[in-house]
Structure 1
Amino acid sequence: MAARIYQIPKNAMQSGKARTGTWVLEFEALEAKKPDPMMGWAGSGDTREQVKLTFPSEAAARAYAERYGIACHVVRTPPKTLKIQAYADNFR
């Protein structure tokens, strides 16, 4: 039983940063998804794929995984780089 822990990224469609400090523990899929013969929807028999647990910090998520014996790895958020430029730079 493996899981990954990551921080929720900022929504690209909005400028707000609500819920960006939240950490998520998400189980990795045990079996590949396959199309349903009748409807064609992708699905699998693995129900743990639907579970997403949220935590206030990375330490809390790691403590939960250790308490229940869940092997996990942390996916770090890449550092944010800002490209500062003035409107006048568009006309150079």
Structure 2
Amino acid sequence: MLARIFRPSKTAMQSGRGKTTGWVLEFEPSDARRSDPLMGWTQTADTESSQVRLSFETREDAVRYADAHGLAFQLIDPKPAKRIIKAYADNFAFGRKVPWTH
């Protein structure tokens, strides 16, 4: 079974970077999810992929755990955040491409 080691990204409801500093080890699902015809929920018989999520302080700890337990893993490095630096004064700059109006 293949495991993924990655650093979680922030959710859409977060403005800060809380709970994004650690590393997570998750198992990939072994089979596709099926919808339950009566209730409409999705179900799977594989509990490892849907319920097991291990957290680690560093990437090396997660890799060491996977090696110690003989797990095949895929290491996903985080992408650097794209930062757009803006100042409030830029809204009123003389060289602005689109004039500021109400």
Q: What one-letter code is carried by the residue in structure 2 that aligns with 1:11?
A: T
Rounded to whole Å, the distance in 2 between the matches of 1:12 and 1:40 is 26
Match in the other structure for 2:90 = 89
Rounded to whole Å, the distance in 2 between the matches of 1:83 and 1:74 is 28
Question: Once the 2 structures are TM-superposed, how far is the Cα of residue 90 of structure 1 from its aligned partner?
Answer: 3.5
Q: What one-letter code is carried by the residue in structure 2 that aligns with 1:23?
A: W
Q: Which one has the largest radius of gyration? A: 2
Question: Once the 2 structures are TM-superposed, how far is the Cα of residue 88 of structure 1 from its aligned partner?
Answer: 3.5
Deviations 1:18-43 (A, max 9, x none): 22211000000000001112112111
Query: Is 2:16 the partner of 1:16?
Result: yes
SS of the residue corresponding to residue 5 of structure 1 reads strand
Query: Is 2:87 the partner of 1:67?
Result: no
Identity within the alignment, %: 47
Rounded to whole Å, the distance in 1 between the matches of 2:11 and 2:41 is 27
Question: Once the 2 structures are TM-superposed, how far is the Cα of residue 13 of structure 1 from its aligned partner?
Answer: 2.4
Question: Once the 2 structures are TM-superposed, how far is the Cα of residue 16 of structure 1 from its aligned partner?
Answer: 2.3
Rounded to whole Å, the distance in 1 between the matches of 2:32 and 2:45 is 9
Alignment of 1:1-92 (within 5 A): 1-49=1-49, 50-91=51-92, 92=96
TM-score computed with the length of structure 1 as normaliser = 0.89
The gaps in structure 2 that reach 5 residues or longer are 97-102
SS of the residue corresponding to residue 54 of structure 2 reads strand
TM-score computed with the length of structure 2 as normaliser = 0.81
Rounded to whole Å, the distance in 1 between the matches of 2:90 and 2:26 is 43
SS of the residue corresponding to residue 62 of structure 2 reads helix
SS of the residue corresponding to residue 40 of structure 1 reads coil
